[in-house]
Amino acid sequence: MEGSGGDHFILVHGLGHGAWCWYKLVPMLRAAGHRVTALDMAASGVHPARMDEVPSFEDYSRPLLDAVAAAPAGERLVLVGHSLGGLNIALAMERLPRKVAAAVFLDACMPCVGRHMGVTMEEVSKPQVFSWTAIDTWLISGDSSSQFSRRTTPDFFMDSERMVLETSEGPRAALVFGPKLLAAKLYGRSPVEDLTLATMLVRPGRQFGDDAMVKDETLLTDANYGSVKKVYVVAMEDVAFSEDMQRWMVDLSPGTEAVEIAGADHMAMFSKPRELCDVLLGIASKHD
Which long-range contacts does 174-179 make (Cβ < 8 Å, 24+ apart)?
174/51, 174/139, 174/204, 174/205, 174/206, 175/15, 175/16, 175/139, 175/204, 175/205, 175/206, 176/16, 176/202, 176/203, 176/204, 176/205, 177/15, 177/16, 177/202, 177/205
Catalytic status, residue 13:
no
Which residue among 13, 17, 82, 266 is the active-site one? 266
Which residue among 7, 107, 194, 238 is the active-site one? 238
CB 288: neighbour CB atoms within 10 A? 8
* CA atoms lying within 13 Å on the CB side of residue 98: 3
Which residue among 34, 47, 52, 83 is the active-site one? 83
> Residue 227: which of 101, 111, 78 has the closest Cα?
101
C-alpha 197/C-alpha 235 separation (Å) is: 21
Angle, helices 57-70 vs 85-95, to 10°: value is 60
**CA-to-CA dists, residue 176 to 16, 182, 206, angstroms:** 7, 10, 9
Q: Within its chain, how far is the Cα of 217 from the centroid? A: 19
C-alpha 232/C-alpha 228 separation (Å) is: 13
C-alpha 254/C-alpha 261 separation (Å) is: 21
Catalytic status, residue 34:
no
Let me know: does 241 contact 107? Beta carbons within 8 Å.
yes
Residues β-bridged to residue 103: 79, 230
Let me know: does 55 contact 168? Beta carbons within 8 Å.
yes
C-alpha 100/C-alpha 98 separation (Å) is: 6
Catalytic status, residue 146:
no
Which positions are catalytic?
Answer: 83, 238, 266
